[in-house]
Amino acid sequence: MAHFICVECGTQFAASESLPERCEICEDERQFVRWNGQKWTTLEELHHDHRNRFENESEKLTGIGTEPSFAIGQRALLLQSPGGNLLWDCITLIDDETIEKVKARGGLRAIAISHPHFYSAMVEWSEAFGNIPIYLHAADRKWVMRPDPHIVFWRGATQQLWDNMTLVNCGGHFAGASVLHWPAGAGGSGALLAGDEIQVVQDRRYVSFMRSYPNLIPLPAAAIHGILKSVEPFSFQQIFGAWWNRNVIADAKAALARSAQRYLCAITEKSIG
């Protein structure tokens, strides 16, 4: 029995004696099956030629990403907080070196994940730190490929965590797509940890939004308004995206507003000046 991992999206599946027949996440229109066909690996195989890199993204916020890049290539964020540390989003690779480095920063109290493309090896991470809870929005339950009793399916618009941190369901990319509001971020001015629900783009003064990034499927206007409405009650000066250095480092709430306006103008064929 092995927990096979999809090479394209990095998702670990429930234990089986043979390779899974398909990856539902990659067959969905938001993702894709590799041009050369479905391929599988295991954590043991990844340990041979991959390692995790740690890099500070901000005070009390450490990025953890795999090198060479694996699957979608995102990096997770280790958020250090007085009431316990949180892993925001997840990556597939976990090894003894990674566990020791995380423990040196205070370990983990819980994991929270923005959407199914980043579920990766979340159960392995939970087990490595004492079967800690994994917070996922219940609207995305169907995309869990390795069920586990420590997954907490939260419902509704928000989920309060500790130290006034809040998970916010913004929808858009997935029905359960969520961001994390971190009030202590940005020196106490507030920050959003956004995954790619709110995607920080190359011009880091802006963000954007998509149903599918690889297949270039945009979101409708109603979804953009829904995202704006979901985060309106929260104050934030920074947005941390899902890849290295994809961060809006100042005036982020205004950047979100002008980015949404630019996007809405583009999809409704209105002039943007």
Q: Is 50 exceeded by the pLDDT of residue 27?
A: yes
Tokens of 4: 């096979």
pLDDT tens, position by position, 178-190: 999 999 999 999 9
CATH 3.40.50.620 fits 5-32+52-267, yes or no: no
Distance CA 100, CA 116 (A): 27
Q: Is 60 exceeded by the pLDDT of residue 90?
A: yes
Q: Residue 132: which of 84, 180, 97 has the closest Cα?
A: 84
pLDDT at 270: 62
Q: What share of the chain is helix, strand, coil (3-state, %, to 5)?
A: 25, 25, 50
Q: How many CB atoms lie within 10 A of CB 72?
A: 20
CA count, 13 A, side-chain hemisphere, 260: 21
pLDDT at 269: 72
pLDDT at 243: 97
Whole-prediction pTM value? 0.96
pLDDT tens, position by position, 204-229: 999 999 999 999 999 999 999 999 99
pLDDT tens, position by position, 64-81: 999 999 999 999 999 999
Q: Residue 2: which of 22, 24, 18 has the closest Cα?
A: 18
Q: Is 50 exceeded by the pLDDT of residue 173?
A: yes
What average pLDDT does the segment 24-44 reach?
97
Q: Is 50 exceeded by the pLDDT of residue 272?
A: no
Q: Is 50 exceeded by the pLDDT of residue 273?
A: no
Q: Residue 140: which of 72, 195, 81, 204 has the closest Cα?
A: 195
Break the chain into its structural domains and give their ranges: 5-32+52-267
Q: Which amino acid is at 42?
A: T
108, 129 Cβ separation under 8 angstroms: yes
